[in-house]
């Protein structure tokens, strides 16, 4: 009996069935009918979604795209450069050009553009739009009223053109900035990103805390999933949102706090037993290659051209 070794050069990735959503749970409601689930199902679904997103990010970071070949330190430095460029731009058109550049980089890095756009714009309207809605009204930003909502002493009040343009400018700046950050996290493995941050001077304690939290977050998530799965297996009939359900949720939270405290103590003792003295070691970082320098130079020239071009056009 002979065995044949696998000749597939592609890196190991998450199975497709794990990354495919249930058609009845589409978040936008465009497919199927979304029914109201219990707190048990919502918790289990939330945990599965988090694991699915992490595995998808790891698969994307393992692709052979443009940004995956760039040194993580160079990507971090250029990210700060892009954030500064976005902060100094003062027109919506220039910020849209910067945002379009991130879409091009995502396409060149084997990141699904549709997924990338949805991941950015799902957060922008929620966290930015709610804050900026009052700024569009004439009671906050005086100017030309383009949408009348009410009258006060015979004067039309509502959304002003100046307030709306200011809100759109902030939304465009936030969208371009979040796109750059999301692109960095999708194309860089988490461990390499932390090691690069340490190389660039981020305090060692900060890196160590983030790394340990990221590592044991999934262990605690698996524990919570097991507890809720066991609760669901013991429940006969439909779950009720009564005082017993709330008591179970509070008891689960208390148990998890106690378990996490005990685990942190055990992990620290294990680290001390293995020689840990408060000085975490990181892998040596290779020197930036020619493609890294060319990428940094291209980002610097593009950012400078965008700033100068906007200044010349709006002068």
pLDDT band at residue 281 using 50, 70 and 90 as cut-offs: low
Give the separation between CA 82 and CA 98, rounded to whole angstroms: 8
**DSSP result, 22-63:** PGGG-TTS-SS-PPPPPHHHHHHHHHHHHHHHHHHHHHHHTS
Convert the pLDDT of each residue in 149-197 to its tens digit. Answer: 888 888 888 888 888 898 899 889 988 998 999 888 888 888 888 888 8
pTM over 0.75: no
Convert the pLDDT of each residue in 79-103 to its tens digit. Answer: 999 999 999 998 999 999 999 999 9
Give the separation between CA 284 and CA 286, rounded to whole angstroms: 7
Give the separation between CA 63 and CA 186, rounded to whole angstroms: 10
- Which helix or strand (DSSP H or E) is residue 117 part of? helix 113-121
Q: And the tokens for 270? A: 């294990």
């Amino acid at each position: 009996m002979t065995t044949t070794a696998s000749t597939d050069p592609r890196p190991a990735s998450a199975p497709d069935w794990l990354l495919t959503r249930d058609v009845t749970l589409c978040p936008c409601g465009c497919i199927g009918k979304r029914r109201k689930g219990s707190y048990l199902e919502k918790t289990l679904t939330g945990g599965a979604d988090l694991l699915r997103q992490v595995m998808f990010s790891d698969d994307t970071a393992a692709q052979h795209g443009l940004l995956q070949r760039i040194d993580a330190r160079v990507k971090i430095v250029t990210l700060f450069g892009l954030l500064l460029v976005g902060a100094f731009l003062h027109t919506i058109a220039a910020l849209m050009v910067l945002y379009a550049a991130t879409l091009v980089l995502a396409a060149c890095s084997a990141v699904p553009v549709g997924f990338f756009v949805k991941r950015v714009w799902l957060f922008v309207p929620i966290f930015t739009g709610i804050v900026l809605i009052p700024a569009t009204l004439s009671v906050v930003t005086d100017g030309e009223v383009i949408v009348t909502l009410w009258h006060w002493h015979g004067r039309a009040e509502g959304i002003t053109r100046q307030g709306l343009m200011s809100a759109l400018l902030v939304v465009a700046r936030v969208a371009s900035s979040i796109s750059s950050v999301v692109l960095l996290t999708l194309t860089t493995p988490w461990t390499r990103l932390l090691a690069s941050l340490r190389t660039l001077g981020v305090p060692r304690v900060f890196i160590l805390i983030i790394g340990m939290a990221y590592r044991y977050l999934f262990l605690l998530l698996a524990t919570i999933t097991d507890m809720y799965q066991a609760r669901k297996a013991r429940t006969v009939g439909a779950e009720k949102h009564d005082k017993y359900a709330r008591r179970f949720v509070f008891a689960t939270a208390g148990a998890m706090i106690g378990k996490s405290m005990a685990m942190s103590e055990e992990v620290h003792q294990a680290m001390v037993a293995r020689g840990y003295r408060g000085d975490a070691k990181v892998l040596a970082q290779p020197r930036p290659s020619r493609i890294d320098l060319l990428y940094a130079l291209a980002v610097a020239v593009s950012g400078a051209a965008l700033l100068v071009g906007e200044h010349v056009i709006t002068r």
